[in-house]
A and B are shown apart, each in its own frame.
Chain A
Amino acid sequence: MLLAVHDLRHTYGDEVALAGVDLSVDAGEFVALLGPNGAGKTTLVRSVIGLIQPTSGSVRVAGGSPARAEVRRRLGVVQQDVGFPSTLTVREIVEGAAARAGAGKDRAKAAMTEMGLADLARRRASNLSGGQQQRLQLAMGLVADPALLVLDEPTVGLDAASRKAFWATLEERRNRGTGILLTTHIVEEAAALADRIVVLHKGRVVAEGTPSELQRTLPGRRVTARTSVPAEVLRAVDGVVSVTASDGEVDIAATIAEPVVRTMLELDPTTSDLVVATAPLDDVLIALTNETKEMVA
Chain B
Amino acid sequence: MRAMWLEIRDELVGILREPTALFFSVLMPVGFFTFFVAMFGEAWENAGTAMIVPFGTFGVLAVVLMNPGIGMADAHQRGWLRVKRVSGIPLWMTIAAKVIASIPYAVAVLAAITASAVFVGDMRFDAGEVAVVFAVLVLGVLPFAFFSVAIGSRVGANAAAAILNAILMPSAIVSGLWFPYEMLPEAIARIGSVLPTYHLARLAMAPVDGGAWLGHLLVLAATAAVGAMVATMAYRSARL
Contact = CB atoms under 8 A, between A and B. Distances in A.
Interface string A83-95: 1111110001000
Contacts of B190: none
A261 B83 CA distance: 53
A86 B14 CA distance: 8
A50 B89 CA distance: 12
A88 B74 CA distance: 14
Interface string A134-148: 000100100000000
A82 B14 contact: no
Interface string B71-108: 00011011110110111111000000000000000000
Looking at B18, B74, B88, B89, which has the most chain A CB atoms within 10 Å of its CB? B88
How many chain B residues sit at the interface, stated as a range, is 20 to 34
A97 interface: yes
A87 B83 contact: no
Interface string A192-231: 0000000000000000000000000000000000000000
Given A51-B240, A85-B10, A88-B13, A100 B87 contact: yes
Contacts of A252: none
A69 B10 contact: no
Contact of B82 (A51, A85, A96, A140): A51
A172 B67 CA distance: 43
Contacts of A77: 83, 86-87
A163 to B, nearest CB: 22
B82 A82 contact: yes
Given A49-B86, A99-B2, A99-B6, A86 B79 contact: no
A73 interface: yes
Main secondary structure on B side of the interface with A = helix
B110 to A, nearest CB: 24
Contacts of A73: 87-88
A88 B85 contact: no
Given A82-B78, A87-B14, A92-B13, A97 B3 contact: no
A3 to B, nearest CB: 15
A101 B83 CA distance: 13
A75 B88 CA distance: 9
Contact of B88 (A70, A82, A86): A70
Given A96-B6, A100-B3, A85 B75 contact: yes
A72 B83 CA distance: 11
A43 B13 CA distance: 34
B85 A50 contact: yes
Contacts of A96: 6, 10
Interface string B1-12: 011001000100
Interface in A93-111: 96-97, 99-101
B86 A85 contact: no
Given A82-B79, A83-B79, A85-B78, A92 B10 contact: yes
A232 interface: no
Given A51-B240, A85-B80, A87-B17, A72 B10 contact: no
A119 interface: no
A85 B86 CA distance: 16
B14 to A, nearest CB: 4
Contact of A69 (B18, B77, B90): B90
B14 A69 contact: no
Contacts of B3: 99-100
Contact of A83 (B80, B88, B90): B80
A49 B74 CA distance: 22
B78 A87 contact: no
Interface of B: 2-3, 6, 10, 13-14, 17-18, 74-75, 77-80, 82-83, 85-90, 240
10 contacts: A50-B86, A70-B88, A73-B88, A77-B83, A82-B78, A85-B10, A86-B18, A87-B13, A92-B13, A140-B83
